[in-house]
Amino acid sequence: MEIEALAKPAGILCRHNTGTACGIYLERPEACARWHCLWRKIGALPDELRPDRSGVVFSLESRPPIAEAPDEACIVGRAVDGVHAFDRWEVAEAFAMFVREGSLPVWKASDRDATMLNRGPKTPARRHRGRAVPRRSPNLPG
């Protein structure tokens, strides 16, 4: 995601990423410290959905992952290590759970494309699918 405090654009690996951790963890910008994936935020999600185990990061985002879709908050499940992660049963069940819950649009995204799985209550009738754009800073309360 974009980190303004580091002048880091979205879609560019942070210069402080060591490959295994944050090289400035104790002094990292507030935007980094405040951001948590939904596995961290929702205590009921099982250990199998931890992003490094499932291969998918679920997050609450302020904009959809494709430019053509209307700006609105949404849940995005991003494959971080290949789209095969979407085939895992626990990942499929997590998408189904967020869709059933229904308060926000749910997107399935990879580094190449993104598909809206459901419409949230405010989303226009058209479904969306398209080329994914890099994440920008979430601006929703943590």
Nearest distance in Å: CB 29, ligand SF4: 6
* 2 touching ligand SF4, by CB under 6 A: no
Task: State the number of binding residues for ligand SF4 (CB under 6 A).
Answer: 9
Site for ligand SF4 in 27-66 (CB under 6 A): 28-29, 32
* Contact call for residues 66 and 131 (beta carbons, < 8 A): yes
Contact 102, 26 (CB under 8 A): no
CB of 138 to ligand SF4, least distance (A): 13
Restricted to residues 11-30, the positions that interact with ligand SF4 (CB under 6 A) are 14, 16-17, 22, 24, 28-29
b or e along 119-131 (b: 16 or more beta carbons within 10 Å of the residue's beta carbon)? Answer: beeebeeeebeee
CB of 52 to ligand SF4, least distance (A): 15
**Residue (of 42, 37, 64, 82) closest to 118 by Cα position:** 64
Asked if residue 89 lies in contact with residue 97, where contact means CB atoms within 8 angstroms, the answer is: no
Binding site for ligand SF4 (CB under 6 A): 3, 14, 16-17, 22, 24, 28-29, 32
